[in-house]
Amino acid sequence: MMLHTDNLGILQGQRHLLHQLDWQVHAGEVWWIAGRNGCGKSTLLATLAGLRAPAAGRITLCGQPLTATAPRLRAQRLALLPQASHDAFDYAVADAVAAARFPWPDDGRNPARLAAALDAFDLARLAHRPLQALSGGERQRVALASVMMQDSPLLLLDEPTNALDLAHQAALQAQIRRWQADGKAVLLVSHDLQFSPAVASHALLLDGAGNAARYPIAQLDAHALGDVLGYPLTRITHAGHPCFLPGHPT
């Protein structure tokens, strides 16, 4: 088991974002975490990454309590793509991606691994460009390549399609499928009703009042998803995968 939460509770001030969440994530699973703004999606990822303490319960990462996992080992076991980040130093693209290998003994000194991460997100031609000279979409691809470079078995991705054009969204979709085939587990926070269900194997729906519902993606219906998103939806199948379209409010 990659990740297990036992009676997990998360508070924001006095508000219960999650209450008694019992959840298991296994190798090869891709979980789409969905809900309205402010329901606790990003806060859940930060808690699972150990960046904030839960109000109750326990998190187990790769069979070991998260609180008992040393920082370097934790970084080897999970990688987090935050919704927004700030670059303190104006590294070149290749140097920034290589730096994400810091938890491992090779410390980024593997040219083949670096080249693979750059190629996966169409960054080879930008390898020597400074981060400050990049567009928002290019910077997002650097962040995704850094997650790939970290090579952790559990990937926490918060709005990974932010600022990506259609071609690079498709490339990310293909990479998530490769990660899944390699036995990695992916937790995906996203508002994209086409991208997310096309790559997910499961969905975790947060209602913002402390409750969470779990579904295999094949069993996720438009009514359940529309309820937590606060808007009616229609489910269709496209290219063999489900996606959801906004309906018309009554």
- Asked whether the beta carbons of 168 and 142 are under 8 A apart, the reply is no
pLDDT for position 88? 60
- Which pTM does this prediction carry? 0.96
Residue 11 one-letter amino acid: L
In the block, residue with structure tokens 């920034």:
96
Q: Read off the DSSP letter of residue 9.
A: E
- The whole-chain average pLDDT of the chain stands at 95
Query: What tokens does 158 get?
Result: 């918060």
Residue type (1 letter), 213? A
Mean pLDDT along residues 190-217: 97
- The CATH topology of domain 1-40+51-62+191-250 is Rossmann fold (3.40.50)
Kindly state the tokens that stand for 69: 């996992």
Mean pLDDT of 109-133: 95
Q: Tell me the two tokens of residue 95.
A: 């140097």
Task: Please report the pLDDT score of residue 250 as a whole number.
Answer: 57
| pLDDT of 109 | 79
Percent of the chain with pLDDT over 70: 98
